[in-house]
Amino acid sequence: MAEQKYYLPQPSYWPLIGSVGLFTTTFGFASALPGKAGDPMGNMLMMYIGLAILAFMMFGWFSTVVRESEAGKYNMQVDMSFRMGMMWFIFSEVMFFAAFFGALFYARQLSVPWLAGGDPGTNELLWKGFQQNWPLLQTPEMAVKPDADLTFSKASGVIEAWGVPFYNTLILLTSGLTVTFAHWALKQKNRTGLILWLCATVVLGYLFVGLQASEYGHAYHALNLKLSSGIYGTTFFMLTGFHGLHVTIGATMLLIITLRSIKGHFTPERHFAFEAVAWYWHFVDVVWLGLFIFVYWL
Amino acid sequence: MSDNHQHHDHPTGIKRWLFTTNHKDIGTLYLWFSFTMLLIGGSFAMVIRAELMYPGMQLVDPNFFNMMTTLHGLVMVFGAIMPSTVGLANWCIPMMIGAPDMALPRMNNWSFWILPFAALMLLMPMFMGGNFMSGQGPAFGWTFYEPLSGQYNKLAFFVFAIHLLGISSIMGSINIIATILNMRAPGMTLMKMPLFVWTWLITAFLLIAVMPVLAGAVTMMLTDKYFGTSFFNAAGGGDPVLFQHVFWFFGHPEVYIMILPSFGIVSQIIPTFARKKLFGYASMVYATAAIAFLSFIVWAHHMFTVGMPVAGELYFTYATVMIAVPTAVKVFNWTATMWKGAMTFETPMLWAIAFVVLFTIGGFTGLMLGVATSDFQYQDTYFVVAHFHYVLVTGALFGVIGGVYYWLPKWTGNMYNEKLSKLHFWISAISVNVLFFPQHFIGLQGMPRRVPDYNPMFADWNFVSSIGGFVFGASQLLFLYIVISTIRGGAKATSQVWEGAEGLEWTVPSPAPYHTFENPPLIK
């Protein structure tokens, strides 16, 4: 046949190393977590070893793939398999965030109004005096218990949408543009433009993470807004936290394709890794818009 | 570095299995793993039936009993049924669509090799209590409802076991979708694909859509217990019922994830032994897609008695019974395929026919449970247990066993022992009904599920059910014997194996060579 054959890799030890890494990480973490609330955290060493194994695996596995790709072993069909893999992976990430957005909407639309009297019996018998409020600074518990006995900490305020979160929105949207400029530059064989626009995207990505981190510091210390501040703090930190983690991963992936661009990888026709990272970056961008609207603004 | 080898040389011994990127090897690994899990989960079921054989407490203490019901469910769902269908997908899909392998062979290896570690993570806490009988395994039911599961002091192990299983399933599904959409031989249009490939395409979509939601649910459990969040705690503004919504948003599509591949297997087997084309191929595809779509919008029928507005009860009732329409389309099509066919009754066909009959019984009880007003009577009784075991044991598992008999000659090159395998079928088919049919009766009389002791009025049927259970459990050892002896020898199988078999997998020699369709066949 005229068409080049589908590339079938030889047996590989990287997946098994990955499994050992995943197991070591999660087993280490689970062993370190206390059995009962209040017990101290155990030794996290095993978890760090597991994370190191995972990092080693990713470096080794991805290097192998990059080497094979640069050696021209992949035909268009392999390229399409990779594309589908990345698209469906991003879809799975969308569904992961959907679970947490679902929890947010459920709390705002159903559980908090029910606790505040939408379900009269619950309010009368268990949380008498609790009134609906959002952001939920007054938890149901605060309505019925003295401050000293609270399980969930009392927050004095929330992060306002039109301060740093708004600037972060602009930063992420701009980074979505710069990564597109980089793509154009790549397609026009403008290597310098590609590298510079990618560097700009990486800087914007990490800038976003840095600003988020400082906002977290502000929330924890100045506002006493924590994971344990009731359902507002819960959904706020879990949603923005997982998003921040994804931005960090995305920015690191951008950094890697920047380094690969500097090494001369990618051609105007063939640059799957670049596109995969760009898709991922647009995905974290879109999630952030959802967060900005539903967590910070409305 | 392994990728420096330019030629097809393969490690032997243990390294072959640890490092393999071959879809047939990985399929075999999945199938043996799932069979091991079937025996482990089955042994838990034996403990349950032994304890329930007589009223009163005789063998194990209540916590251990709860641990058995919990782990039986989790091991069977995540360890036995799901990996067994992935194993069949690995073995068969590339051969059925004329592809040289799965689209992403290294990731395929990883999807499998996460599973043993996940199983270890799930089962290990059982042995952490010092002595086995006071084990600290999860004991909160396979649905792990909050806030009960939040009391479990080894919760993190459970949560991470689910995470690992989810990662494995998602990667496996991405691979299957990429393989089906991208690796078909020229001319193999979507509507020419064997139905098993279609059902797996749709199953894989369901898995990618809902496994992350389950990961979200267990992550919320983890942070609620260890990091002070209040997703499921009303004192902080959350709600334990939220857990049930998130869980069943995963859980309902999950039951179709388990049954759809078996629908596909049966749709392969019946035309072969009826020597007719599958009746209503296109309607089978559309019905599968319709079932998958509906599975996303019916989840709260598991929660009718939790408390919801009447409008909600009505909506979830109507949406649920609507699933009967596409499901009935499938059952009618299977029946119509057999109508006036030149039928023979080799072992795979027996399992397929039993599947159609017994799965339909499970479907009918599902209708009864799907109607909110009658569900109030059945919720959390043995009627529910009987219902989902008809669907999952005589449905999903029978389909898989039928599939194993159907393709075993292709995999091994040998025919299985027809006499013994028919014996296996008849013992299983009779005992499984002795096991589960009486549970309808005691359920309707009001025996609750998940109890180690019960009112003596339920004693007779429980005794009968336990006898059926022991026989059904033991008969699977016969299956093990048949499979092993087929691997080791037997009458040689031809390429086509079955007179009426059609499809690309029957055009390659038996046993199928290590690499098939390295050059894609042309489909007319």
- Is-catalytic flag, B518? no
Residue ranges of chain A with per-residue pLDDT less than 50: 1-2
Query: B479 lies in a domain?
Result: yes
Tell me the nearest-neighbour CA distance from B445 into chain A, angstroms: 32
Mean pLDDT of chain B: 94
Mind telling me how many Å the CA of B183 is from chain A's nearest CA?
8
Q: Check if the beta carbon of residue B212 is closer than 8 Å to that of residue B167.
A: no
Residue type, B129: G
Note whether residue B123 is domain-resident.
yes
Query: Which chain A residue's Cα is nearest to B128?
Result: A31
Contacts of B316 (CB under 8 A, 6+ apart): B298, B299, B300, B301, B304, B308, B372
Calculate the alpha carbon distances from A297 to A107, A144, A213 in Å: 16, 29, 19
Give me the pLDDT at residue B12, please.
Answer: 84
> Per the residue annotation, which of B327, B465, B486, B516 is the catalytic one?
B327
Q: What is the pTM of this model?
A: 0.95
Report the pLDDT averaged over residues B269-289: 97
Active-site annotation holds for B101: yes
Asked whether residue B307 is domain-assigned, the answer is: yes
What is the 3 state secondary structure string of B63-81? HHHHHHHHHHHHHHHHHHH
Query: How high is the pLDDT of residue B349?
Result: 98
Tens of pLDDT, residues B477-514: 999 999 999 999 999 999 999 999 999 999 999 999 99
Is B256 an active-site residue?
yes
What tokens appear for A7 in the block?
A: 């590339």
**Probe site for chain A from B106, B152, B202 (most A CB atoms < 10 A):** B106
Q: Is B217 on the interface with A (CB under 8 A)?
A: yes
- DSSP secondary structure letters along B86-107: HHHHHHHHHHHHT-SS-SSHHH
Q: Mind telling me how many Å the CA of B31 is from chain A's nearest CA?
A: 18
CATH of the domain at B338: 1.20.210.10
CB–CB of B390/B453 below 8 Å? no
- Check residue B132 and give its pLDDT: 67
- Taking CA–CA distances from B163, the nearest residue in chain A reads A26
Paired with B448 in beta bridges are B381
Range of the domain at B102: 20-506
Q: What is the pLDDT, as a whole number, of residue B8? A: 57
Pick the catalytic residue: B154, B422, B449, B450? B449
- Whether the link from the prior residue into A40 is cis, omega within 30° of 0, is no
Within-domain flag for B14: no
Q: Any idea which of A64-68, B51-55, B488-492, B519-523 has the lowest mean pLDDT?
A: B519-523
Asked whether residue B13 is assigned to any structural domain, the reply reads no
Q: Which residues of chain A are within 8 Å of residue B184 when distances are taken between CB atoms?
A: none
Residues of A with CB below 8 A from B185's CB? none
* Residues of B in Cβ contact (< 8 Å) with A139: 230, 235-237
Q: Which of A75, A82, A88 has the most B C-beta neighbours within 10 Å, making it the best mutation to test the interface with B?
A: A88
Backbone angles phi, psi at B492, to 5 degrees: -70, 140
**Residue B5 clears pLDDT 50, i.e. is over it:** no
Contact B205, B174 (CB under 8 A): no
Contact between chains at B105 and A141 (C-beta distance less than 8 A): no
Inspect the interface and report whether the beta carbons of A112 and B237 lie closer than 8 Å.
yes
Task: Return the structure tokens found at B218.
Answer: 């267990």
Q: For residue B231, how many other CB atoms are within 10 A of its CB? A: 29
Whether B21 sits inside 8 A of A10 (CB atoms) is yes
Instruction: Mark yes or no for CB contact B164/A84 under 8 Å.
Output: no
Determine contact: B100 vs chain A, CB below 8 A: yes
What distance in Å separates the CA atoms of residue B194 and residue B188, rounded to the nearest whole number? 10
Domain assignment of residue B10, yes or no:
no
Residue B152 CA, chain-centre distance (Å), reads: 27
What is the nearest CA distance from A108 to chain B, expressed in angstroms?
9
Candidates A16, A96, A227; nearest CB to B19 = A16
Domains of chain A and CATH, by start: 1-74 (1.10.287.70), 75-297 (1.20.120.80)
Q: Do A8 and B105 touch (CB under 8 A)?
A: yes
Please say if B169 is a catalytic residue: yes
Which positions 167-196 of B are in contact with A (Cβ < 8 Å)? 167, 170, 173-175, 177-179, 181-183
Q: Using an 8 Å CB-CB cutoff, list chain B residues near A114.
A: 239
Q: Which residues in B lie closer than 8 A to residue A106 (C-beta atoms)?
A: 239, 242, 245
Contacts of B203 in chain A (CB under 8 A): none
The reply to whether B470 falls in a domain is yes
CA dist A261 and B125 (Å) reads: 48
Cis peptide before B511 (omega within 30 of 0): yes
Option in A11, A89, A92 nearest B2 (CB):
A11
Q: Please determine, for residue B60, whether its predicted confidence score (pLDDT) is greater than 80.
A: yes
Q: Chain B, 218-257: which have a CB under 8 Å from a chain A CB?
A: 219-220, 223, 225-231, 233-239, 241-242, 245-246, 249
Specify whether B72 is catalytic. yes
Distance CA A212, CA A244 (A): 7
pLDDT digits (tens, 9 = 90+) for B222-238: 999 999 999 999 999 99
- Record: contact B182-A22, CB cut-off 8 A: no
Q: What pLDDT is stored for residue B398 in this prediction?
A: 98
Tokens of B322: 């609507």
Partner A contacted by B113 (CB < 8 A)? yes
Q: How many helices (H) and strands (E) does chain A have?
A: 10, 0
Q: Closest to B230 (Cβ–Cβ): which among A15, A95, A230?
A: A230
In the block, tokens 């389909």 appear at: B399
In b/e form, how buried is each residue of B303-339, taking b as 16+ CB within 10 angstroms?
Answer: bbeeebeeeebebbbebbebbbebbebbbebbeebbe
- Tell me what pLDDT residue B11 has: 80
pLDDT at B9 (0 to 100) = 64
Residues of A in contact with B518 (CB under 8 A): 5
Q: What was the ipTM of the complex prediction?
A: 0.95
Residue B121 has what pLDDT? 96
Q: Which residue of the set B72, B184, B276, B424 is catalytic?
A: B72
Q: Domain total for chain B?
A: 1
Which DSSP symbol is given to B455? Answer: -
B25 touches chain A (CB under 8 A): no
State yes or no: is B7 an active-site residue: no
| Chain A CB contacts of B116 below 8 Å | 19
Q: Mean pLDDT throughout B236-265?
A: 96
Q: Phi, psi (5° rounding) for residue B381? A: -110, 175
Residue B12 lies in a domain: no
B141 contacts B70 by C-beta, under 8 angstroms: yes
**Set of chain A residues whose Cβ sits within 8 Å of the Cβ of B230:** 139, 152, 228, 230-231, 234
Contact indicator for B157, B124 with CB cutoff of 8 Å:
yes
